[in-house]
Amino acid sequence: MRILLGVSGGIAAYKAVLLLRLLREQGHAVRVIPTRAALEFVGAPTFEALSGEPVSTEVFDDVPGVQHVALGKGADLVIVAPATADFMARAVLGLADDLLTTTLLAARCPVVFAPAMHTEMWDHPATRANVATLRERGVHVIEPAAGRLTGTDTGPGRLPEPEDIAREALSLVGPVGTPPQPQDLAGRHVVVSAGGTRELIDPVRFIGNRSSGRQGVALAQAAAARGAHVTLVAANLAQDVTDQVRTGERPCAVVQVESTAELRDAVRAAGADADVVVMAAAVADFRPAATPDAKIKKVPGQGPAPIELVENPDILAELARVRLRSGQVVVGFAAETGDASGTVLEHGRAKARRKGADLIAVNAVGSGRGFGTDSNEVTVLDGAGDVVGQAAGSKREVADALWDAVVKLLP
């Protein structure tokens, strides 16, 4: 892969040297473009020796090669690390007064900024507004790490470790030869519920279901890879799925819930400013009318005590009806087995019309299908029950197909 490594002028520029070495060790061709100020911190010979390529800061070097356009157009990925507050402000304005800023204007590949600055500068409304603008335009701005800063101060603003920057940046482009990951959810907030809710019968027993959360987590990770800010509302995920969330290539905000009432509260809170809400969780339709504080004991000679159930709110139907934010896209799933009264698709169609969501992904479950497996097969219906898509493959592939359908509905 051909990577341009922009370096702007901050003390963290020394870490760009480590990032450069890492990217070269991974087999990438890297051209370093420092700003003038960056060269106050690290000398050009260091970058030249480690990249094996010339280093210049000015548009007036190699004028016949029209470098300031050629470099940007020929790149598969641009990483700016560190990106100072000043540099981000210049990028927002579209300034073109050195080789790095002109290159950014010419680049059409994914662009990643790894900011580094003092906490006060990072928190300043001007910087926050610049970061928001960059994200809206599709630049992937990595959250800075928290920790020791230049002086004795600590807090958010530290340049993330080179390994973390490389992993996050490379996740945007995929392996060499594959098309770049589209950043069509950049600047969007999406909420995905995953897993299965549990309703307590007593302190030790519950009514639950077999959902592992795999499809929901695949949706969350696919959205994050497409540039979205993701909130994952996680209901009792299987352990390996929880591990997958922790080690995922791109971070999601995770809210853990157990019951349907908790899931409803969490989805509604996170959904207030979301562009998209996807209800991938398997939600219990009923809950015990009361949950005693003590374990229910069996009484010798008496049969089991009946458990009275009451209906849970239908979260998806509510979301579709109220729309927490105008223009919000609401997506649901319909896990069906099919029965004497209808096929999987017929039940899915009826559910699509009943729920009022914009999209419903219908999948066949039962007999080893759907639950806990790594693959899935869905038919995507619109709110009228008409087929608008079909997807089969890994849960990640199905997730990407569903996001393709969602993106078409976004304003």
Burial of 258 per CB tally in 10 Å (0-12, 13-18, 19+): middle
**Out of 30, 230, 234, 316, which residue is the one contacting ligand CTP (CB under 6 A)?**
316
Q: Which two tokens stand for residue 325?
A: 């934010």
β-strand 154-158 against 145-148: which pairing, if any? antiparallel
Residue 316 phi, psi (nearest 5): -60, -45
CB atoms within 10 A of CB 62: 15
Asked if 257 and 263 touch (Cβ cutoff 8 Å), the reply is yes
Query: What residues numbered 185-204 form the site for ligand CTP, per CB under 6 A?
Result: none
From residue 235, give the alpha-carbon distance in Å to each of 216, 318, 329: 10, 19, 22
Which residue among the candidates 209, 236, 363, 376 is catalytic per the annotation?
209
Position 113 contacts ligand CTP (CB under 6 A): no
Residue closer to ligand CTP, measured from CB, 24 or 354: 354
378 lies in the site for ligand CTP, by CB under 6 A: no
- Does 271 interact with ligand CTP (rule: CB under 6 A)? no
| Tokens describing residue 306 | 């009946």
Q: Using CB under 6 A, which of the segments 12-20, 178-186, 332-340, 402-410 binds ligand CTP?
A: 332-340
Tokens 């995905």 correspond to: 192
Region of 42-50, 268-276, 282-290, 372-380 interacting with ligand CTP (CB under 6 A): 282-290
Please report how close the Cβ of residue 271 comes to ligand CTP at its closest, in angstroms. 12
Helix axes 239-247, 214-225, angle to 10 degrees: 10
Residue 165 CB neighbours (<10 A)? 24
Instruction: Give me the least distance between CB of 150 and ligand CTP, in Å please.
Output: 48
Known catalytic membership, residue 209 = yes
Of residues 114 and 335, the one with the C-beta less far from ligand CTP: 335
In the list 281, 352, 359, 364, the residue contacting ligand CTP (rule: CB under 6 A) is 281
Question: Of the ranges 155-163, 219-227, 328-336, 385-393, which one interacts with ligand CTP (CB under 6 A)?
Answer: 328-336
Amino acid in position 240: D
Show the binding pattern over residues 335-354: x = contacts ligand CTP (CB under 6 A), - = does not.
x-------------------
162 binds ligand CTP (CB under 6 A): no
CB of 393 to ligand CTP, least distance (A): 20
CA torsion sign for 134, 136, 137, 141 is positive
Which tokens is 355 given? 């729920």
Stretch that binds ligand CTP, among 58-66, 213-221, 243-251, 276-284 (CB under 6 A): 276-284
Name the minimum Å distance from CB 248 to ligand CTP: 22
Count CB-CB contacts under 10 A for residue 64.
Answer: 5
To ligand CTP, the closest distance from the beta carbon of 280 in angstroms equals 7
Q: What is the 3-state secondary structure (H, E, C) of 69-135?
A: HHHHHCCCEEEEEEECHHHHHHHHHCCCCCHHHHHHHHCCCCEEEEECCCHHHHHCHHHHHHHHHHH
Q: Which residue pairs, CB below 8 angstroms and at least 24 apart, start in 42-49?
A: 42/7, 42/13, 42/14, 42/16, 42/17, 46/17, 47/7, 47/17, 47/20
Q: Among 171, 236, 312, 363, which residue sits at the site for ligand CTP (rule: CB under 6 A)?
A: 312
Among 279, 330, 352, 381, binds ligand CTP (CB under 6 A): 279
Rule CB under 6 A: which of 55-74 touch ligand CTP?
none
Annotated binding residues for CTP, written as ranges, equal 285, 295, 313-316, 333, 351, 355
Decide: is 371 part of the binding site for ligand CTP (CB under 6 A). Answer: no
315, 324, 352, 364: which one binds ligand CTP (CB under 6 A): 315
Region of residue 328 (phi > 0: left; psi between -120 and 50: alpha; otherwise: beta): beta
Span interacting with ligand CTP, options 5-13, 20-28, 330-338, 388-396, rule CB under 6 A: 330-338
Give the whole-angstrom CA distance, residue 105 versus residue 98: 11
Q: Output the smallest distance, CB 216 to ligand CTP, in A.
A: 9
Is residue 227 within the footprint of ligand CTP (CB under 6 A)? Answer: no
Q: Please select the residue that binds ligand CTP; options are 6, 216, 332, 370, rule is CB under 6 A.
A: 332
Residues in the site for ligand CTP, rule: CB under 6 A? 279, 281-283, 285, 312, 314-316, 332-335
Give the catalytic positions in this structure.
209
